[in-house]
Amino acid sequence: MTTQTLPTPGFGTFRLEGDTLKQSVLTALELGYRHIDTAQFYGNEAEVGQAIAESGIPREEIFLTTKVWHDRLSPADLEASVKESLTRLGTDHVDLLLIHWPSPNDEVPMADYLTALKKVQEAGKTRHIGVSNFTRAQLDRAVEILGEGALLTNQIEVHPFLQNRALIEHCERHGIAVTAFMPLAVGKVMDDETLARIADAHDASPAQIALAWLNQQGIVTIPSSTKAKNIRSNLVALEITLSDEEMQAIAALDRGERIANPDFAPAWD
């Protein structure tokens, strides 16, 4: 289910803006990426939409994801924010719409914003719905509200230093695909001796090994880069097959190092 419904790798656009963003998205599409990930919070939906339009690739061949920010979760506001996102993206629908973060302190009840999310899907404004940064307990609540099979993915931070195994297994039990953001731990994978040693054995980079490790677990990745060389090498990384010993060596790198941990984050479980 995962890789067919949700193409991997996707191209992440967090912290990219303006012409740099447009050129990066165009390069990714030219090289064969067909999944582009953006969000209201990134402030770059308009440029993402322009790049897709300029690429000449038919819209139906591109899997486009955006996310609703946590200050737009009350039902009327959520629906209005999606209309704004679609206008900026220059499309009448996205392929995946995510709740970017659960409502801080349950300020907006989950049943309210997930029901609104489902309504947006039923109106044809998104093909799939999902969540991001949801804990195991929050996923259970979400499934109680919407039922099994309603959510396509939980987009969470996963990299060799934060392996999030319990949450990944919980997603799998619910049939929810895992999408890993910050798969390269904002570049920290490049400095790790274990990853460097494995990379040498494969004539690859530590970044490619981190992506191959995720791919081998059936996890979708959305790495980001502004350099054509890296955008290409991130794609090639998924052709690498790691041995059991190499997978075990990477498993030993887990140190619970969470990078995305804003003050409104949920109580991680």
CA distances in angstroms from 138 to 5, 145, 174, listed in the order given: 23, 11, 12
Percent pLDDT > 90 in the chain is 98
pLDDT at residue 1 is higher than 70: no
For 219-250, how does the pLDDT look when each residue is reduced to its tens digit (9 = 90+)? 999 999 999 999 999 999 999 999 999 999 99
For 201-219, how does the pLDDT look when each residue is reduced to its tens digit (9 = 90+)? 999 999 999 999 999 999 9
Is the pLDDT higher at 150 or at 4?
A: 150
Q: Is 147 helix (H, G, I), strand (E, B) or coil?
A: coil
Provide the whole-model pTM. 0.97
Give the helix ranges, DSSP H, for 148-192.
Answer: 165-173
Percent pLDDT > 70 in the chain is 99
User: Do 249 and 220 meet the contact criterion of CB atoms below 8 Å apart?
Assistant: no
Tokens of 124: 């044809």
Kindly give, in sequence order, each residue whose CB lies less than 8 Å from that of residue 146, ignoring residues fewer than 6 positions away: 114, 118
pLDDT at residue 3 is higher than 50: no
58 cis-preceded (ω within 30 degrees of 0): no
pLDDT at residue 4 is higher than 90: no
Instruction: Output the average pLDDT for the chain.
Output: 97
Provide the pLDDT for residue 2.
40
Provide the pLDDT for residue 167.
98
CA 141 distance to own-chain centroid: 21
| Residue 173 CB neighbours (<10 A) | 13
Domains delineated in the chain: 2-184+218-226 (3.20.20.100)
For 72-105, how does the pLDDT look when each residue is reduced to its tens digit (9 = 90+)? 999 999 999 999 999 999 999 999 999 999 999 9
- pLDDT band, residue 112 (cuts 50/70/90): very high
Average pLDDT value for residue range 145-172: 98
Residues that are catalytic:
42
Average pLDDT value for residue range 251-262: 98
